Structure 1
Amino acid sequence: MTNPKLDNLNALSQQQYLEQLQHICSSQRWQQLMLKQRPIRSMQQFKQVAEDAFKQLNEADWLEAFAGHPMIGDMSSLQKKYSQAKHLSQAEQAQVAEAQQDTLQQLLDLNHAYLERYGFIFIICASGKPAEVILQALQQRYGQSREQELSTAAEQQQQISFLRMENLF
Structure 2
Amino acid sequence: MNSIKLNTLTETQAKQALTHCCAAPNWVAGMLKALPFKNKQQMFECAQNVWENLSEPDYLAAFEGHPQIGDLSTLGKKYAATAQKASHEQAGMSQANEQTLQTMIALNKQYLTKFGFIFIVCASGKTAEQMLSLIEQRINNTRMTELHIAADEQAKITKIRLEALL
Q: Does 1:2 align with 2:11?
A: no
Alignment match of 1:118 (pick from 115, 129, 132) = 115
CA–CA distance in structure 2, aligned partners of residues 108 and 158 of structure 1: 24
CA–CA distance in structure 2, aligned partners of residues 118 and 84 of structure 1: 26
* Structure 2 stretches lacking a partner, 5+ long: none
Q: Does 1:83 align with 2:80?
A: yes
Q: Does 1:42 align with 2:39?
A: yes
Greater relative contact order (CA < 8 Å, ≥ 6 in sequence): 2
2:92·2:125 contact (CA, 8 Å) conserved in 1?
yes
Q: Does 1:165 align with 2:159?
A: no
CA–CA distance in structure 2, aligned partners of residues 109 and 48 of structure 1: 37
CA–CA distance in structure 1, aligned partners of residues 91 and 22 of structure 2: 19
TM-score (norm 1): 0.94
Alignment match of 1:27 (pick from 19, 24, 33) = 24
Deviates more, 1:111-120 or 1:78-87: 78-87
CA–CA distance in structure 2, aligned partners of residues 11 and 164 of structure 1: 17
2:22·2:62 contact (CA, 8 Å) conserved in 1?
yes
**RMSD value over aligned CA atoms?**
1.1
Shift of 1:87: 1.8
Q: CA-to-partner distance for each residue in 1:110-147, whole Å, 9 max, x for gaps? A: 00000000000000000111111100100000000000
Q: Does 1:92 align with 2:89?
A: yes
**Residue-pair matches, total:** 166
Matches within 5 A, 1:134-145: 134-145=131-142
Deviates more, 1:77-86 or 1:19-28: 77-86
2:6·2:165 contact (CA, 8 Å) conserved in 1?
no
Shift of 1:92: 0.2
CA–CA distance in structure 1, aligned partners of residues 155 and 126 of structure 2: 17
TM-score (norm 2): 0.96
Alignment match of 2:129 (pick from 132, 135, 141) = 132
Shift of 1:168: 2.9
- Runs of 4+ aligned residues of structure 1 deviating over 3 Å after TM superposition are none
* Structure 1 stretches lacking a partner, 5+ long: none
Matches within 5 A, 1:43-62: 43-62=40-59
Letter in 2 for 1:57: L
